[in-house]
Amino acid sequence: MLFNSIEFAVFLPIVFILYWFILSRNLKQQNILLIIASYIFYGWWDWRFLLLLIVLSLANYFVGIEIENNQENSKGKKWFI
């Protein structure tokens, strides 16, 4: 899906309406919607790279949790590096 395609012209307003008007009160649901919409957008172009994107997203999520849990000691810096 390219930014100047008809598919994107349909996809963007749907995601925009879902984000701002339907899920406007719940930040966690908004974030889940954005990550799913991102996976759909990138997967539309070439689905073979989608697994790589999901694995990197999960790895970054769990590393971020470890950094937050270890903020007060040097272990957090190690996770950051």
Task: Tell me which residue of 15, 12, 37 sits closest to 23, measured CA to CA.
Answer: 15
Q: What are the structural domain ranges in the chain?
A: 1-45, 47-81
- Rounded CA gap, 11 and 3, in Å? 10
Compute the distance between CA of residue 33 and CA of residue 74 in angstroms, rounded to an integer. 34
Distance of alpha carbon 30 from alpha carbon 26, whole angstroms: 6
pTM attached to this predicted model: 0.73
- Locus of tokens 């307003």: 13
26-70 pLDDT, tens digit per residue, is: 888 888 899 999 999 888 888 888 999 999 999 999 998 988 888
Is residue 1 a contact partner of residue 15, using CB atoms and an 8 Å limit? no
